[in-house]
């Protein structure tokens, strides 16, 4: 990894799914603040300053394939911020979703974050953080996205359990729950002719920009007073 000047403090942020959307927007924010940014995703991050490590979080063995590369990037860090941003979303319903289908969503949205937590926490010092990117569906439900809603509710429990089990470590954790954000994922599930209707569901009558959520994530890493909190970043949703 090369020698560093005496007094240099290495700050690292590891972001899952930083090849697009909120994760990509966050890479630019952290880079400007002097962080080494590592992306874990199937696709490389288009930000040329980011270190991309190719992996498939839907695989139970994903960490075995990246462990050496990832640990080499974080082992000398003074602070590490782990951002669980990647997520899998399916259009499914609670009445007939097969177990294998549910398990595939839970692997990406719950099991993979747990794996990364367990493997990286031994390298994380006081001042580090674990941030989960959730959803407004982490604390409510709508029809037609059963496995996603289930996994996001489970992420709240994961985060709150981390808060308790990390007590005294100097590491904080919280969940940022975006509302309707103008990302590739949103547009893949919402037809173009329905985007205006979705935007009208916020009190500001517009979609959220990925940069806005990225700013919230950066802010969250700096504020341990938020430990154990669920932060809704949704412009104020209008309940139907």
Position 226 in a domain: yes
| Domain boundaries, position 19 | 11-183+209-233
Instruction: Determine the pLDDT at residue 240.
Output: 65
Position 133 in a domain: yes
Position 131 in a domain: yes
Cβ-contact 132, 175 below 8 angstroms: yes
Q: What are the DSSP E strand ranges found in 56-194?
A: 79-84, 129-133, 172-178
Instruction: Determine the pLDDT at residue 193.
Output: 83
Sheet order of strands, 11-16 included: 51-54, 36-41, 11-16, 79-84, 129-133, 172-178, 230-233
pLDDT tens digits for range 178-190 = 998 888 788 787 8
Instruction: Determine the pLDDT at residue 1.
Output: 40
CATH number of the structural domain spanning residue 146: 3.40.50.720
Instruction: Determine the pLDDT at residue 3.
Output: 42
pTM more than 0.75: yes
pLDDT tens digits for range 107-141 = 999 999 999 999 999 999 999 999 999 999 999 99
Q: What are the DSSP E strand ranges found in 94-169?
A: 129-133
Nearest by Cα to 137 from 17, 232, 24, 21: 232
Position 203 in a domain: no
User: Count of domains in the chain?
Assistant: 1
* Nearest-angstrom CA–CA distance, 5 and 26: 27
The residue ranges of the chain whose pLDDT is under 70 are 1-7, 240
């Amino acid at each position: 990894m090369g020698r560093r000047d005496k007094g240099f403090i290495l700050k690292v942020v590891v972001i899952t799914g930083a090849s697009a959307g909120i994760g990509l927007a966050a890479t630019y924010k952290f880079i400007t603040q002097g962080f080494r940014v590592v992306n874990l995703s199937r696709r490389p991050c288009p930000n040329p300053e980011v270190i991309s490590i190719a992996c498939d979080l839907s695989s139970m063995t994903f960490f075995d394939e990246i462990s050496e590369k990832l640990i080499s990037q974080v082992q000398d860090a003074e602070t590490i911020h782990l951002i669980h941003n990647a997520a899998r979303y399916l259009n499914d319903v609670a009445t007939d979703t097969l177990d294998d289908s549910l398990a595939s969503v839970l692997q990406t949205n719950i099991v993979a974050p747990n794996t990364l937590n367990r493997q990286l926490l031994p390298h994380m010092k006081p001042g580090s953080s674990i941030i989960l990117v959730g959803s407004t569906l982490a604390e409510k439900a709508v029809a037609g996205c059963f496995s996603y809603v289930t996994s996001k509710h489970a992420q709240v429990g994961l985060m709150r359990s981390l808060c308790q089990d990390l007590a005294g470590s100097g590491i904080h954790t919280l969940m940022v729950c975006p509302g309707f954000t103008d990302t590739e994922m949103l547009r893949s599930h919402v037809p173009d002719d329905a985007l205006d209707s979705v935007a009208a569901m916020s009190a500001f009558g517009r979609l959220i920009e990925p940069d806005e959520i990225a700013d919230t994530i950066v802010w969250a890493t700096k504020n341990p007073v938020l430990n154990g909190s669920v932060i809704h970043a949704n412009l104020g949703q209008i309940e139907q």
